[in-house]
């Protein structure tokens, strides 16, 4: 009789608390051996004094934060996604639900929570969608542990989160620069921040995501074939595979190739002085690469203002790249491949409104020299 902690199965690093008292036996998976030992000690003390009741033990049921930690220990998501989840736990989940027993959270509470994040805290729909996914995984962990009967975060929550298919389907949602505006921006970089011109030009001429650009290494660039091999993406401090999960080859314009060659020569000259050769195309002063958030805030946003342009995001250079190629009549399949979309349908959903209507006169090329009278016989009533 009493409370015991066991590793089940042995060598797994997973610990269960077993309580045997007054012909009742219950067990529960614990987030750590330390936590299990603490509760076991408390339960045994209460049993010894005759004050233990299973109802009180229920009060010790794991909290949302504990199941979140348990999920994070086991999950096999990409490192960048896990990093996002850790941040969501710290900034949003723990302050709101952290100490609440997992079985006390209702679906309505989650709906209100997510709606407030969207409307009051002004989080993006994408961030709220990630937050909902994280909560769903947390409660799925609790469900597998028989701590709850239903997952309160699963399923669609109307008007709160959803697919991003409507996020980029109108001209109001997609922001991009005209070609002359892009030239103004690049000229401003050259004038005010020449050291950062190469990164700005790379984003504008390849449509790469900022995380992909700052994760580039020199051996990713084939100057002879004018191709950049996109193999990595940096999200916060984590360098991982690109968003699509696989790499791609991006064509490099002649102008961009010359700028990057010069940058490489300058960096090689610096390495002779310092004795350190850097593999990163855009190394950071403190971290190994440029910090995307800091670059946006301290460099990009400042240059946009100096250039007298409307407020845009770094990601809008990607939209600008796509819009210029579409205007030039490039096939959508080529643009999709350059952008690294998992399917052409994604590219079509985002940029369909930018594709000009086909020239109706083009179908006239299908006709031959026959006149309409010859082709369409006149109907005569008999």
Confidence at residue 164, expressed as pLDDT on a 0 to 100 scale: 42
**Does residue 226 lie in a domain region?**
yes
Residue 375 included in any domain: no
Residue 255 and residue 317 share a domain:
yes
Confidence of residue 36 (pLDDT cuts 50, 70, 90): confident
Give 122's DSSP letter: -
Average pLDDT score over residue span 331-341: 93
Are residues 204 and 342 located together in one domain of the fold?
A: yes
- What CATH code is carried by the domain that includes residue 82? 1.10.150.130
Q: Which residue has the tokens 């191709």?
A: 227
Share of the chain above pLDDT 90, in %: 42
Q: Which two tokens stand for residue 61?
A: 């049921």
The reply to whether 54 falls in a domain is no
- Pair (136, 212) in one structural domain: no
- pLDDT score of 366: 66
Indicate the SS3 state at residue 37.
helix
What pLDDT does 324 receive?
A: 92
Of 63-77, 97-111, 161-175, the poorest mean pLDDT is in: 161-175
* Residues 247, 348 share a domain: yes
Pair 104, 209 in one domain: no
Q: Do residue 338 and residue 197 come from a single domain?
A: yes
Tell whether 41 is covered by a domain: yes
The verdict on residue 39 lying in a domain is: yes
As a whole number of angstroms, the distance between CA 120 and CA 114 comes to 10
Q: Nearest to residue 96, comparing CAs of 57, 60, 138? A: 138
Of 115, 134, 161, the residue at which a domain comes to its end is 161
Element (H or E) spanning 20, and its range? strand 15-21
368 domain-assigned: no
pLDDT tens digits for 300-319? 999 999 999 988 999 999 99
DSSP 141-166: HHHHTTS-SS-TT-S--TTT---GGG
Cα gap 66→269, rounded to integer Å: 52
Task: Identify the three-state secondary structure at position 16.
Answer: strand
> Is residue 236 a contact partner of residue 294, using CB atoms and an 8 Å limit?
no
Q: Which of 217-226, 251-260, 280-289, 369-378 has the lowest mean pLDDT?
A: 369-378
Residues 234 and 325 grouped into a single domain: yes
In a domain, 227, yes or no: yes
Least confident of 33-42, 143-152, 167-176, 333-342: 167-176
Cβ-in-10-Å burial (0-12, 13-18, 19+) of 322 comes to buried
370 belongs to a structural domain: no
Can you give the pTM of this predicted structure? 0.60
Q: 342 and 287 share a domain?
A: yes
Which CATH number does the domain housing residue 336 bear? 1.10.443.10
Q: Does pLDDT of 372 surpass 50? A: yes
Q: Identify whether residues 296 and 200 lie together within a single domain.
A: yes
Of the three residues 127, 161, 195, the one that is the final residue of a domain is: 161
> Which tens digits make up the pLDDT trace of 72-115?
988 888 777 888 899 899 999 999 998 899 988 999 999 999 99
Tokens at 142, concatenated: 């609790």
pLDDT tops 90 at residue 253: yes
Q: Which comes out higher in pLDDT, residue 159 or 161?
A: 159
* pLDDT confidence bin for 243, thresholds 50/70/90: low
* Backbone angles phi and psi of 29, in degrees to 5: -75, 135
Calculate the average pLDDT of the chain.
84
CA distance 170 to 175: 10
Same-domain check for residues 196 and 140:
no
Closest by CA to 69, choosing from 41, 88, 42, is: 88
> Does position 147 have pLDDT exceeding 50, yes or no?
yes
Bridge-based pairing state of the strands 221-222 and 227-230: antiparallel
Specify burial of residue 209 (Cβ count, 10 A radius: 0-12, 13-18, 19+): buried
What pLDDT score does 216 carry? 95
Give bridge partners of residue 15 from the DSSP assignment: 7, 30
Name the band, by pLDDT with cuts 50, 70 and 90, for residue 367: low
Number of structural domains the chain divides into: 3
Quote the domain boundaries for residue 328. 179-354
Are residue 70 and residue 43 in the same domain, yes or no?
no
**Are 22 and 84 in the same domain?**
no
């Amino acid at each position: 009789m009493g409370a015991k902690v066991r590793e089940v199965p042995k060598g797994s690093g997973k610990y269960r608390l077993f309580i045997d008292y007054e012909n009742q036996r219950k067990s529960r998976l614990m987030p750590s051996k330390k936590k299990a030992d603490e509760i076991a000690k408390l339960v045994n003390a209460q049993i010894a004094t005759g004050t233990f009741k299973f109802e009180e033990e229920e009060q010790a049921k794991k909290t949302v934060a504990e199941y979140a930690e348990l999920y994070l220990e086991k999950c096999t998501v990409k490192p960048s996604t896990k990093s996002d989840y850790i941040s969501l736990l710290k900034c949003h989940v723990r302050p709101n639900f952290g100490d609440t027993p997992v079985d006390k959270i209702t679906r309505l509470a989650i709906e209100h929570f997510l709606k407030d994040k969207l409307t009051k805290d002004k989080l993006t729909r994408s961030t709220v969608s990630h937050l909902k996914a994280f909560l769903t995984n947390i409660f799925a962990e609790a469900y597998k542990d028989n701590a709850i009967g239903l997952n309160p975060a699963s399923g669609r929550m109307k008007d709160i989160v959803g697919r991003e298919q409507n996020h980029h389907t109108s001209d109001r949602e997609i922001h991009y620069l005209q070609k002359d505006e892009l030239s103004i921006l690049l000229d401003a970089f050259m004038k005010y921040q020449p050291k950062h011109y190469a990164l700005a030009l790379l984003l504008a001429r390849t449509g790469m995501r900022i995380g992909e650009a700052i994760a580039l290494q020199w051996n990713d660039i084939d100057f002879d074939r004018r191709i950049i091999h996109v193999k990595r993406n940096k999200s916060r401090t984590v360098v991982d595979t690109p968003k699509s999960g696989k790499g791609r080859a991006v064509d490099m314009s002649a102008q961009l190739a010359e700028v990057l060659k010069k940058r490489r020569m300058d960096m090689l000259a610096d390495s002779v002085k310092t004795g350190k050769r850097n593999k990163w195309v855009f190394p950071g002063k403190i971290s190994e690469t440029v910090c995307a958030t800091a670059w946006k805030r301290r460099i990009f946003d400042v240059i946009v203002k100096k250039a007298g342009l409307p407020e845009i995001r770094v990601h809008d250079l990607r939209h600008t790249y796509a819009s210029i190629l579409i205007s030039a009549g490039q096939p959508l399949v080529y643009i999709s491949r350059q952008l690294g979309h998992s399917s052409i349908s994604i590219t079509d959903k985002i940029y369909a409104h930018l594709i000009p209507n086909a020239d109706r006169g083009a179908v006239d090329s299908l006709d031959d020299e026959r006149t309409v009278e010859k082709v369409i016989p006149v109907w005569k009533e008999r």
